[in-house]
Amino acid sequence: MSTSLAEQERLLLQAAQDHYALNLSTAASIAWLVYDIILTLPQEFELVWRSKFTVHKALYVVTRYFGLACLIVTLIGMPPALMSVAATVSMTRSLGKVTAVTRYHYPYVCRRWLWFIGLGPSISNATGELLFMTRIYAAYGRTRRIFVTLLLLWLAEGIVGWVATTLNIKATMMIQRPLGYPLPGCTEDQTPIGFVHLDFVSWAVSSAVAVCLSTLILVYFFRSLNFHMSIRTSQGLKLSELKKLAPVMVLFTARSPRSASAGSWPRMRLRPRACTSTCAAPWWTTTTHSPSDRTTPISSSGHTRLNSLRP
Give the tens place of pLDDT for each residue, 125-178: 899 899 999 989 998 989 999 999 999 999 999 999 999 888 888 887 776 666
* 205 and 267 part of one domain: no
* 244 and 146 part of one domain: no
What digits encode the pLDDT tens for the residues 228-259? 444 434 445 555 555 555 555 555 554 444 43
Final residue belonging to a domain, choices 177, 205, 224: 224
Final residue belonging to a domain, choices 187, 204, 224: 224
Task: Name the residue range of residue 245's domain.
Answer: 230-309
Highest averaged pLDDT of the listed ranges 8-12, 206-210, 232-236, 241-245: 206-210
Whether 177 and 78 have beta carbons less than 8 Å apart is answered as no
Instruction: Name the CA dihedral angle for 170, 176, 182, 186, rounded to a multiple of 10 degrees.
Output: 30
Q: How confident is the model at residue 122 (pLDDT cuts 50, 70, 90)?
A: confident
* 220 and 265 part of one domain: no
Q: Is residue 1 part of a domain?
A: no
Angle between helices 144-171 and 193-225 (to 10 degrees): 160
Q: What is the mean pLDDT of the chain?
A: 69
- Arithmetic mean of pLDDT, 196-222: 88
Predicted local distance difference test score (pLDDT) of residue 16 = 79
Beta strands in 57-111 (DSSP E): 85-93, 96-104
Q: Is residue 32 part of a domain?
A: no
Q: Is residue 25 part of a domain?
A: no
| Residue 160 to residues 6, 120, 204, 206, Cα–Cα distance (Å) | 40, 15, 10, 9
Predicted local distance difference test score (pLDDT) of residue 35 = 94
Q: How confident is the model at residue 204 (pLDDT cuts 50, 70, 90)?
A: very high
Rounded CA-CA distance 78/76 in Å is 7
What digits encode the pLDDT tens for the residues 99-110? 443 444 556 677
Say which amino acid occupies 156: A
**Residue 43 predicted with pLDDT over 70:** yes
Predicted local distance difference test score (pLDDT) of residue 242 = 55
| Residue 129 to residues 164, 197, 203, Cα–Cα distance (Å) | 18, 24, 15
CA dihedral over 52, 57, 62, 65, signed as positive or negative = negative
Final residue belonging to a domain, choices 164, 196, 224: 224
Q: How many residues does the chain have?
A: 311
* 58 and 204 part of one domain: yes
* 66 and 167 part of one domain: yes
Q: Is residue 273 part of a domain?
A: yes
* 255 and 216 part of one domain: no
